[in-house]
Amino acid sequence: MIQLDKKHINNTRILVVDDDQLTRMTIKKILQKAGYQVTDTDRGDKAISLCINELPDLVLLDLMMPGIDGYDTCKALRQVADYNQLPIIILTGLDDIESIDKAFESGSTDFVTKPINWSLLTQRVRYALRTKELFHELIKSQQKLTRAQNLVRIGYWELDCETNIISLFDKTKYLLGLTSDAYPMNELLSHMSDIDADRIRHCIQTTIETGTPYTIDHSFINHDGVALIINQQGELSDQHDRKLITGTIQDITERKQAEELIYFHRYHDPATSLPNKEFLQLQLDDLIRQDQGEFLTAVISLSFDKLRSIGGTIGEDFINQFLRQSCERLLRRIPEIRSISRISTTTCGFLLSNMHTIEQIELICNLIINYFIEPLSINNHEYHTTLSIGITVYPIDDSTSLIQNAIIAQKVCFSQGGSRFLFYSFDMELDTKKQISLESAIRRGLENNEFHAYFQPQINTSNEQVTGMEALTRWITSDGEIIPPDKFIPIAEETGLIIELGIEIMKQSCHFAKQLQDSGHGTIRVGVNLSSLQFSDKNLLTTIDNMLADSGLDPSQLEIEITESIAMTDISHAINTLKNIRSMGIKTSMDDFGTGYSSLSYLQKLPLDTLKVDQSFIRPIGENYENSEIARAIIAMGKSLNMHLIAEGVEEAHHYKLLKKLHCNEVQGYYFSKPLAQNEFIRFIEKKSYLKH
Amino acid sequence: MNDKYNILNLSTINELKEILEDDIFAIYDEFQTSTKKMLQDLKKAHEAGDSNAVLHLSHTIKGSCSNIGLQRIFEITRQIENGLRENTNPDIARLIQETESAYTATLAALKAEGLLP
């Protein structure tokens, strides 16, 4: 198509066709004077080939020519596809109305009469060009409109209310996947559900009766069986006494799908596709709205206590997988749970509706906890975790913060060791506030060096020398207050501050052991406890290596202690990490052995040097060695596995006597000494005051 | 009898002058040569009894002269064309002679107007 609209007049080309050379010359000169580029010819056939080759923007054509005359030239030009909009102005005698009509039928756009009014000729040309430009614009905007309609998939229809025939205009039928331009209304309605068909009938009826336009979204199954979502609008239009409803339809399937996607993203956790906290709130709001006051609704916040530390080793993907599987397990086994939302990294939330009593809620929570005694198998690994469950109950608790308060209860539950459930109480909020202030106090304490490693001596039963010590954390605030570990360790673990704290204690321990050696107090091994977060910390080995290099302590003098439950959380990770620690020349030890669910087969797999017999097996031993069976069994087992044995909780002389007799390698406990500050410890070994017998 | 018509239509000529300025000379120069040729052809055609050629040539001369304001030639050639078309049996020989006289008069008038050297 010729792009006249953007062309400057200087680029506009005009072809003059006239067999009269003098007139042709005059026209040419006049048009050139006005700035146009002019080509001329005296014959019709030449004019056609010039048009094809030179693409003029306008043709001035004489009608009376020998050979192919003006009419035939005009017709021929109209046959050339690109020339259907080319302005063709014919030149004809003033009195020759008949020829003007004939020329118009041949496709000319305008005429100029002879004798030519020269002043008007250029105006005529200019108008013809502008008309063409406007026409071109109109076509372009029509095309744009059509494109836009195709793009937004919009179509037009008309319903004749008397015949009940719906006409579909332009491409509307394609939009609906139909083949005809008109259908009886009922046939079209058969493409949708009965409910939608009834809704549309109702809309149309109302519009006919009241004249109010309508808009409605409905389904439409096209001939290929594809379900579309259609937005339909209709309004009454009276035409020549015919009652019509005219309207649009728009295929909004994609938009609806996008809306659903947005809805999904708004109410779901992208990593696990589980519903999120907003969804839980939505569910809860719905329940409260519909509540008749007959039943109780429990809001449960459930966290997987060890997930963060396991996830620290294996990563975010693992946490997501773990959560998904755990939620599946819950949904499968507890029919009262309809859906579970992820409300934070390691915490899920759900509702128990239609509960009759608090006891019923407790029963379900107990079931849940029991279901997680079994390990969860992910990628052929078994993982143990415990749960902390916080509960609020509607309408007993304040309805405005049911979810938030359930989370508070869950956090309190976690700080108390997990593996249980707690109902929310107002005090907890205060506790939580206290916890927050405690957390910032720990941070401050770390900055101000308020955390100190204390050392409890470990005495070798064969030579009664101090051959080891266990480092224990003490927090002495700047105003001299001593805060017990059970008050701050859970918060340090929950907030991740335990890593920094652990590094601090290990640093002090390594330096102190080296100092004892350098000052001639002998080679005393130091045992340092690792929390689960530290144990799963990717930088653990580098950190230990730096400590040793920094202090100059021989690796064999350091012993890393982990608890049984840390090892059991992810047994293969424990095996690998302990192996790596050992390959550095460091000793490995299992603390609290026998208190958890570890079995002998697991114990065999773990690369351990030392087994610590938990104090709970030592303390009950009586003077006549009653209640000593478990201690004996553990020691025998340790011996059979060639492990170094250290008994904790030695408080009485007969404890020591029995352990010596059982060839338990070392003992520690209040019978010899409480944990000591560094200077006290030095005094303790110098005085040899531990030799009480 | 056609002496009653003005030789020139000055309003058309002035209009052209205004639009074309100096380019106008080329037009009348072309007129001088091409019309002279066409008048010769016209005469020959008449003598040969080729009335179609007479019709066509008189139409062409009529058209071009009317467009550039040469009134008298236009009027005479129109009489030839119309007479032939309407079969009124015009005196073609006389009209051709009158056209030739008008041509000479036109050249003189154009010279007087300064449009021909």
Residue-wise pLDDT for A8-31, tens only, equals 566 889 999 998 889 999 999 999
Residue A174 pLDDT level (bands cut at 50, 70, 90): confident
Structural domain boundaries in chain A: 9-149, 152-256, 270-424, 438-685
pLDDT at residue A4 above 50?
A: no
Whether residue A2 lies within 8 A of chain B, CB to CB, comes out as no
- Closest Cα in chain A, distance from residue B58 (Å): 11
**Range of lowest pLDDT (A397-411, A445-459, B93-107):** A397-411
Q: How many Å apart are CA A155 and CA A150, to the nearest integer? A: 8
In one-letter notation, the amino acid at residue A174 is Y
Whether residue A119 lies within 8 A of chain B, CB to CB, comes out as yes
| All residues at 6 or more sequence positions from A123 whose CB lies less than 8 Å from its CB, including other chains | none
Segment B85-89 shows an average pLDDT of: 87
> Could you tell me where the beta strands, DSSP code E, fall in A186-309?
214-221, 227-239, 242-251, 296-304
Q: How many Å apart are CA A441 and CA A456, to the nearest integer? A: 26
A/B interface, count of CB pairs below 8 Å: 54
- Closest Cα in chain B, distance from residue A150 (Å): 51
The tokens for A548 are: 């040793």
What architecture (CATH level 2) is domain A9-149?
3-Layer(aba) Sandwich (3.40)
pLDDT at residue A384 above 80?
A: no
**Count of alpha carbons within 13 angstroms of residue A501, beta-carbon side:** 31
How far is C-alpha A639 from the chain's CA centre?
52
The DSSP annotation for A670-682 comes to TTT---B-HHHHH
Whether residue A133 lies within 8 A of chain B, CB to CB, comes out as no
Find chain B residues with C-beta within 8 A of A120's C-beta.
none
pLDDT at residue A565 above 60?
A: yes
Segment A276-305 shows an average pLDDT of: 88
Whether residue B30 lies within 8 A of chain A, CB to CB, comes out as yes
CATH 3.30.450.20 fits B2-113, yes or no: no
pLDDT digits (tens, 9 = 90+) for B12-55: 999 999 999 999 999 999 999 999 999 999 999 999 999 899 99
Average model confidence (pLDDT) across chain A? 86
Interchain pair A22, B31: CB under 8 A: yes
Find chain B residues with C-beta within 8 A of A26's C-beta.
16, 27, 67-68
Give pLDDT, residue A586. 96
Find chain A residues with C-beta within 8 A of B63's C-beta.
20, 23, 114
Select from 1.20.120.530, 3.90.79.10, 3.40.50.150, 3.30.70.270 the CATH code of A270-424. Answer: 3.30.70.270
Select from 3.40.50.300, 2.60.40.10, 3.30.450.20, 3.40.50.1240 the CATH code of A152-256. Answer: 3.30.450.20
Higher pLDDT, A574 or A399: A574
Rg of chain A taking only CA atoms, in angstroms: 46
pLDDT at residue A599 above 80?
A: no
Question: Hey, is A88 helix, strand or coil?
Answer: strand
pLDDT digits (tens, 9 = 90+) for A418-438: 778 999 988 777 777 777 788
Same fold: A152-256 with A438-685: no
Whether residue B16 lies within 8 A of chain A, CB to CB, comes out as yes
- Closest Cα in chain A, distance from residue B10 (Å): 13
Select from 3.20.20.450, 3.40.50.2000, 1.10.3720.10, 3.40.50.1820 the CATH code of A438-685. Answer: 3.20.20.450
